[in-house]
A = this chain, B = another copy of it.
């Protein structure tokens, strides 16, 4: 391929992650993968498929079921200059390692006077909708987003999965890399070659004039789909993908709402004290004089997620919910096309 006309391919989010891990393993011998069942088993969601075979057990290290132990071990190896990429099978299990992540990885650089770097990536999928019941269906990304010292990324497309994972691995700080079970099979166009995302930046992925929808990760798929539907009706929706939950790009969010004067947040997590709370508070502070209607949040119901499909579906936010709230927000301001 020549630099001036980059090629691209349509691949899944899973494949984008897999190829990026492979490329980074090839690029830097200090990069290694560590986690449960990422080798012989090929990863519980097959993100690391084929990598053990090609890079061997030193670079692709299967661990016992010891989240606190191997996450902490990854931290220690990073203190000595390695660049571990940890896979925790799902966000839910990261709770067992959270003392190492929050009390150690996130604190060390500052608490030790800037002497040590912890170049660490922790990847895990969050999200419900797979009938995995209450303990296996959580979206607790807001916990990590609250912690200084961490950087928290939430790519919503295969292209972002690639460029943001590269950025995460090359960054010298601990990065929480949030994936989503429902995104792994989603396909999208991924440019060839080196794209490295800038951490800390949101993106306006669809411009519009009438209302801003703010979302991230899996929610973006629904947000864009709903925005398209409204476009057909002649309502122009702007869609902001947060991409980086920490640092949070308040300027991009507020600039959009200052333009559209209406905002709806679409999030997979639970409403109270969730990601959307900060987004709403931020808009309230940064676009106060421009807002024509209250900022509404479309978020999961506040229950331990049930196994039963109809109950689970009722508790989770869907396209119809977002459409309804967008409409209510437009109506609240007597919006006319």
A residues adjacent to B (C-beta < 8 A): 92, 95-96, 98-99, 102-104, 106-107, 110-111, 133-135, 140, 142-143, 145-146, 148-149, 246, 248, 269-270, 272-278, 280-281, 283-285, 288, 291, 293-297, 302-304, 306
Contacts and interface: CB of A to CB of B under 8 A. Distances in A.
A277 B149 CA distance: 20
Quick one: copies of this chain in the complex?
Answer: 2
Nearest to A303: B148
B273 A148 contact: no
B98 A92 contact: no
Contacts of A270: 146, 148
A4 B134 CA distance: 48
Q: A-side binding surface: helix, strand, loop or mixed?
A: helix
B148 A135 contact: no
Contacts of A104: 135
A134 B147 CA distance: 11
B285 A295 contact: yes
A143 B273 CA distance: 8
A140 B135 contact: no
Nearest to A96: B99
B297 A281 contact: yes
Nearest to A109: B304
Given A146-B143, A148-B302, A272 B246 contact: yes
